[in-house]
Chains A and B, each alone.
Chain A
Amino acid sequence: MNLRVAVTGGTSGLGRALVEILTDRGDAVAFVARRAEPVRELARLHPGAHGIVGDVSRKEEIYPIAMRVTAALGGLDVLVNNASSLGPVPLAPLADTECEELEEALATNLVGPFRLTKALLGALAAAAREGRPALVINIISDAAVHAYRGWGAYGASKAALLHMSRIWDEELHAHGIRVHTFDPGDMDTPLHALAVPDADAASLKRPAESAREIIALIDTHREVAGVLGGG
């Protein structure tokens, strides 16, 4: 069973690694990112992948994105909400964080995944009814659990995403849809470089390594769905 996977924040870091590995192994992939040029470039490098220009933090773009995802893939088995915003850059103490910066982090890291998941829930439910895996993976961070100074907007939004994912999973698993979180660790990505400009890149995890861990998680679900769904 080839999978139909959508990845937000798909043109850099972890998202890009997911798009590349999934496309290479023959899964159908749609990826979303804000800027048109990197989307075109990645779609050109991986002709099987469908690039969608869109911003998940903007309410009016969610349904057009959802429609393009299901139109590109003919349905959906896995949604990876990976697009993330740090909040203030450089990182700032909460007391120096503008309300608008917190709102922007929440819009991208919490409300965006909520809206996109809701818009795609019908497609995921259809996959579940047909005995396919129906899975949402929300990318979180250890900053969702630990109180790191300077990571207030990001950490608070990811903590909310973590808790929302747990509630969603409670509500949806009886319908055959699972909602998981995944903490990829500190990776050598453009987002990490923005947050910690002087980090030693050699000490950081490669995004492809985290991507493989996520794909292993997806494959576990594929096997379970294959057994339970019985085709």
Chain B
Amino acid sequence: MRPATEPRQRPPEARLLVVAPDGSLRHTARAELAVQLGAGDLLVANDAATIPASLRGVHEATGAPIEVRLAGRRSLMVHRVERFTAIVFGAGDHRIRTEDRQPPPPLRPGDDLVLGPIRAGIVRLLGHPRLVELRFHGTPDAIWSGIARHGRPIQYAHVPEPLALWDVWTKVAALPVAFEAPSAGFAVDWRLLGELRARDVGFASITLAAGISSTGDPELDARLPLDEAYHVPPTTARAVARARSLGGRVIALGTTVTRALEHAATGAGRVRAGTGVATRRIGPETPLHVVDAVVTGIHEPGDSHYELLRALAPEEVLCRAAAAAERAGYRSHEFGDSMLVERQRKPRDEGPDEPVREDVDSATARSTTWVEQLA
């Protein structure tokens, strides 16, 4: 799959591959997203704005150049910005593939990092030589000022041009808590919001501090996504309940929205308003309680986004979709084309004649989790 290499959020030629509930595929223009939705449906976006979370600096003890990528925080509270989970690289920048990046000098608790106008200390290592918890020195205003002046958006080698914040903030970006852009939201503009309104499609948001998507290290990548703090506003919880009562679908704009809504699910398709930390990873065995469809980028088998899609559709359907996208020249990564994957209808919905063993398993898994949730 070819990556999209230019930071354009809504290129007019952007495409959308629709994977219908029966597994059939359809190509359409992403600008026509609203047409895929109907009265009573609810589209939910992640309204997190993206922090310029890449901070270049120096490891004070050795004088070695480093790049710190802020990757996680346990809270969405904007005045609680002292402590972050972070990935540390050695010399180099985003133009080098993360897989080929130099490791940082050996890091120890208590080491100081000078990151332009701000300083941070390493609190502890988190089970890997380049994953740390760090603590910024200074007041919250001084920390934010330093990040605003010195930080750059995290980016990867497939987009060589340096990114500015306007490249990575979606049109609904509000609270600056994401470490990388919730890029499925690039599809949204104010024209789309107007079209949704005209079609009586609901629009709501959650805020999830989207973490880092790739570290270049297989061992660390296997730990992604890291825990992510989120907030579900009461109005969103009510909108989900309303969509349910109207028989509408809940469409998550991105994997981060799916993660937040499913973590906040209380059963019967409802979500709990409030804040939380999404810890669970969503995969083929995860029953979805709230989300009926996901709009997301074009993902390669194996990455955590792809794993999440397997909760909606079996491997066979996703492979067929990936092959169709490849044949049609879809672009991958954050500025690329999109897929709308609807939750696949189970064969048992179509009659009792196809008792496929996999479905018995997933039904069992579902009822087990159900009981755990109620307990």
Contacts and interface: CB of A to CB of B under 8 A. Distances in A.
Given A60-B164, A123-B174, A71 B144 contact: yes
A119 interface: yes
A190 interface: no
A129 interface: yes
Interface string B170-204: 11111110000000000000100110010000001
B370 interface: no
Contact of B173 (A51, A72, A122): A122
Nearest to A51: B141
A126 B145 contact: no
Contacts of B197: 174-175
A126 B175 CA distance: 9
A194 interface: no
B235 A64 contact: no
A70 B233 CA distance: 17
Given A63-B169, A122-B47, A70 B175 contact: yes
Given A67-B165, A70-B49, A130-B233, A75 B175 contact: yes
A41 interface: no
A94 B223 CA distance: 64
* Chain B at the A interface: SS class: mixed
Given A70-B175, A131-B235, A122 B49 contact: yes
Contact of B165 (A63, A123, A231): A63
Contacts of A174: 194, 197
A129 B205 contact: yes
Given A68-B145, A174-B197, A129 B171 contact: no
Given A72-B144, A119-B166, A122-B49, A64 B176 contact: no
A38 B168 CA distance: 32
Contact of A70 (B77, B78, B149): B78
29 contacts: A50-B141, A62-B166, A63-B164, A63-B165, A63-B169, A64-B148, A64-B149, A66-B49, A67-B51, A67-B52, A67-B148, A67-B176, A70-B174, A70-B176, A71-B81, A74-B77, A119-B166, A122-B174, A123-B49, A126-B205, A126-B207, A129-B204, A129-B233, A129-B235, A129-B236, A130-B233, A171-B190, A175-B190, A175-B197
Interface of A: 50-53, 60, 62-68, 70-76, 119, 121-123, 125-126, 129-131, 171, 174-175, 231
Interface of B: 47, 49, 51-52, 77-79, 81, 140-141, 144-145, 148-149, 164-166, 169-176, 190, 193-194, 197, 204-205, 207, 233-236
Given A53-B145, A74-B175, 16 more contacts: A52-B145, A62-B166, A64-B165, A66-B49, A68-B145, A70-B49, A73-B78, A122-B169, A122-B171, A122-B174, A125-B174, A126-B174, A126-B205, A129-B236, A175-B190, A175-B197
